[in-house]
């Protein structure tokens, strides 16, 4: 078994593939993190304050969130990738495990992001779509960009994170699904989509009312999750698992209000996409012939760095940069310009033979690059154009030139320190290949054991109600298992993926909402749960989890319910400028149904139920008095 694992690892380790998917994965991971940080900033007082706006226990939280946002932005653009990937991992680790997020505001994908970020630290994330890649080129400005080869990385950096973060997650989730009646009935996607708390704003009732289609989707998910780990890496099946996975997670993102979970899973498919597809998409998007040819002074360090920078962001290859001293003579449109005049400005020629100079050249470059066209057009606006021309002239006339000698030659070594990926995978920085493969194989075995421990402990022993405390030996083994679970859960994000199962929906037959009486005594709905029972945006993601998974459950805990009524009324009361001391809040309830067999039009039926007032809440200073029935379960 171990020998087979080593052989597979060695084959993937030696195979070189384009770095495009790794760079895209880093960029998307940073964007998902960034939107989540902005979400935390918006709901800062709801999540982190014991009493929103009134009792601020962590006043430095916004500062650290903004610091995290800077780190996430640097990850998006690929600036100092190694350092920011480690910093981002620490931020996820600290906020998820050591703040109220861990207890009351689980985002549903936090541990998944921790695990993904752990692998991100060791991946070659600076090889594509990164500022770091540009920084390396700028260290050798007299090397033309055409002399750089397309970055290639070990295929193992694609397959290993997918196998651990997606493959193991899917398999563990499928085990849990086998114990849920509605999943066995093929209704795993249909049931939560019919519960108002969980549905998005899209009306998908037409889709939910096709029973056979819902069962096909439900059974497809189970088969997909059980088989993903076995077949996703095979070339003949890779495209199929990519398309099915993209479709399923896009469906989660669009149909449920847990969009961060859907997006967090979707970004991994940047690593699942067949490598040939990246090449074909790139060839399709890139222009066949450059739209603009730019001529620059090859003995000007500033010009060379400018060319490298512009080319780095010219992802469609729409502009060709050529040294004026060598190539200008081949273009009749430049024949009237002497070499001295040609080197005083940045000149360009488009496909129609039109000549541009100075600021006009820069504007035309941006227009030709297409996605920056708005900036190029803006540069030509009156007043702004004259100001830019003045700044350009001052810089162009004072730039330094040098005669190219040995100082122009490429440096023998990079001054940037090697990344962890380079130390592990690149021969000039790493141990001998055989030793590296064995070390990676052993690490993978440990991760497999960690995941097996979680799946066996919670997916089988817990689900089968096995008493692990019946003997001293089994009790000791259970304690050891829990200790390993705590470590792998905290630092690697390995956790049971028992989401939306029978023990969650069984008995989930009522919804709670909060209204208030305005200054005219008229009842208004707090911008939280609407008249239909749906959680309104932006109360999605981890705020949805707080209300729909913790405050309101099949067995409502009075203490927790009152705690979150307090938080929600204080937060949204302040947000919409209510005078809390003079406002009466009303707790309302309506009945819904959560059957484990298919019913036509269940979604609309649950949305159309009638509400009844079951309690009230009123603030007095920093205290809130909440009146609820002694036993909500019997209402």
Cα–Cα distances (Å) from 37 to 16, 75, 107, 290, 491, in that order, read 35, 13, 12, 40, 20
Residues near 541 by Cβ (< 8 Å), separated by ≥ 6?
A: 36, 39, 107, 108, 257, 258, 259, 260, 261
pLDDT bucket at 156, cuts 50 / 70 / 90: very high
Q: Is the pLDDT of residue 361 over 70?
A: yes
Nearest to 485 by CA among 518, 450, 509, 438: 450
Q: How many CB atoms lie within 10 A of CB 56?
A: 15
Average pLDDT over residues 557-585: 94
Nearest to 112 by CA among 62, 69, 163, 169: 169
- Give phi and psi for 38, each to the nearest 5: -65, -35
Which contiguous run of DSSP H or E holds residue 9?
A: helix 2-14
pLDDT bucket at 427, cuts 50 / 70 / 90: low
pLDDT the model gives residue 414: 47
pLDDT bucket at 268, cuts 50 / 70 / 90: very high
Q: What is the Cα–Cα distance from 439 to 454, expressed in whole angstroms? A: 23
pLDDT the model gives residue 405: 46
Q: Is the pLDDT of residue 91 over 80?
A: yes
Mean pLDDT of the chain: 88
Q: Is the pLDDT of residue 433 over 80?
A: no
Average pLDDT over residues 302-315: 90
pLDDT the model gives residue 413: 40
pLDDT the model gives residue 592: 95
pLDDT bucket at 428, cuts 50 / 70 / 90: low
pLDDT the model gives residue 517: 94
Name the residue with tokens 């610091």: 67
Three-state secondary structure string covering 159-194: HHHHHHHHHHHHHHHHHHHCCCHHHHCCCCCHHHHC
pLDDT bucket at 400, cuts 50 / 70 / 90: low
Q: Is the pLDDT of residue 412 over 50?
A: no
Between 96 and 489, residue with greater pLDDT: 96
Cross-strand partners of 512? 589
How do beta strands 292-296 and 319-323 pair? parallel
**Helix, strand, or coil (residue 114):** helix
pLDDT the model gives residue 411: 47
């Amino acid at each position: 078994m171990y020998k087979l694992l080593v052989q597979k690892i060695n084959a993937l380790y030696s195979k070189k593939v384009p770095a495009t998917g790794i760079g895209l994965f880093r960029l998307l991971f940073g964007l998902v993190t960034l939107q989540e940080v902005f979400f935390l900033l918006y709901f800062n007082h709801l999540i982190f304050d014991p009493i929103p706006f009134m009792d601020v226990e962590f006043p430095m939280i916004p500062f650290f969130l903004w610091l995290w946002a800077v780190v996430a932005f640097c990850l998006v653009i690929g600036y100092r990738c190694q350092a920011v990937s480690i910093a981002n991992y620490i931020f996820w680790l600290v906020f998820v495990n050591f703040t109220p997020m861990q207890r009351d505001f689980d985002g549903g994908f936090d541990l998944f992001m921790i695990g993904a970020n752990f692998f991100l630290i060791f991946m070659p994330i600076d090889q594509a779509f990164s500022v770091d890649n540009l920084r390396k080129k700028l260290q050798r400005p007299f090397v033309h960009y055409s002399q750089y080869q397309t970055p290639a990385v070990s295929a193992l950096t694609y397959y290993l994170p997918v196998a651990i973060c997606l493959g193991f997650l899917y398999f563990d989730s499928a085990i849990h699904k086998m114990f849920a009646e509605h999943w066995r009935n093929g209704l795993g996607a249909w049931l939560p989509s019919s519960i108002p708390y969980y549905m998005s704003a899209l009306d998908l009732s037409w889709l939910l009312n096709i029973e056979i289609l819902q069962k096909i989707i439900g059974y497809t998910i189970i088969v997909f999750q059980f088989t993903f780990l076995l077949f996703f890496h095979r070339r003949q099946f890779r495209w199929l698992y990519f398309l099915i996975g993209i479709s399923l997670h896009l469906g989660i993102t669009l149909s449920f209000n847990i969009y961060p979970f859907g997006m967090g899973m979707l970004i991994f498919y940047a690593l699942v996409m067949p490598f040939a597809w990246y090449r074909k998409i790139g060839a399709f998007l890139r222009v066949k012939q450059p739209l603009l040819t730019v001529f620059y002074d090859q003995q000007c360090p500033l010009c060379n760095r400018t060319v490298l920078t512009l080319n780095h962001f010219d992802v469609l290859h729409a502009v060709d940069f050529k040294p004026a001293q060598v190539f200008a003579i081949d273009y009749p449109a430049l024949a009237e310009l002497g070499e001295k005049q040609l080197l005083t400005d940045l000149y360009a020629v488009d496909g129609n033979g039109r000549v541009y100079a100075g600021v006009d050249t820069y504007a035309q470059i941006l227009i030709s690059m297409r996605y920056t066209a708005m900036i190029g057009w803006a540069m030509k606006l009156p007043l702004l154009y004259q100001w830019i021309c003045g700044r350009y002239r001052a810089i162009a006339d004072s730039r330094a030139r040098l005669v190219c000698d040995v100082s122009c030659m490429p440096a023998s070594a990079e001054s940037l320190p090697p990344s962890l990926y380079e130390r592990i995978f690149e021969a000039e920085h790493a141990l001998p290949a055989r030793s590296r493969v064995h070390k990676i194989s052993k690490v993978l075995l440990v991760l497999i054991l960690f995941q097996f421990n979680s799946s066996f402990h919670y997916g089988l022993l817990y689900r089968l109600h096995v008493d692990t405390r019946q003997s001293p030996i089994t009790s000791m083994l259970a304690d050891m298992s829990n200790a390993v679970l705590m470590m792998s859960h905290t630092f690697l994000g390995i956790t049971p993926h028992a989401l939306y199962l029978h023990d969650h929906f069984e008995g989930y037959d009522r919804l709670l909402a909060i209204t208030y009486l305005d200054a005219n005594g008229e009842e208004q709905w707090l911008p939280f749960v609407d008249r239909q029972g749906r959680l309104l945006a932006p109360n999605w993601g981890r705020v949805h989890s707080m209300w729909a998974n913790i405050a309101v459950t099949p067995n409502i805990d009075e203490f927790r319910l009152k705690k979150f009524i307090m938080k929600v009324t204080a937060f949204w009361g302040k947000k919409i400028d209510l005078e809390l001391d003079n406002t009466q809040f009303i707790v309302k309830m309506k009945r819904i149904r959560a059957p484990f067999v298919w019913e036509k039009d269940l979604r609309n039926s649950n949305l159309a139920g009638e509400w009844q007032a079951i309690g009230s809440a009123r603030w007095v200073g920093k205290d809130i008095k909440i009146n609820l029935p002694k036993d909500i379960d019997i209402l």
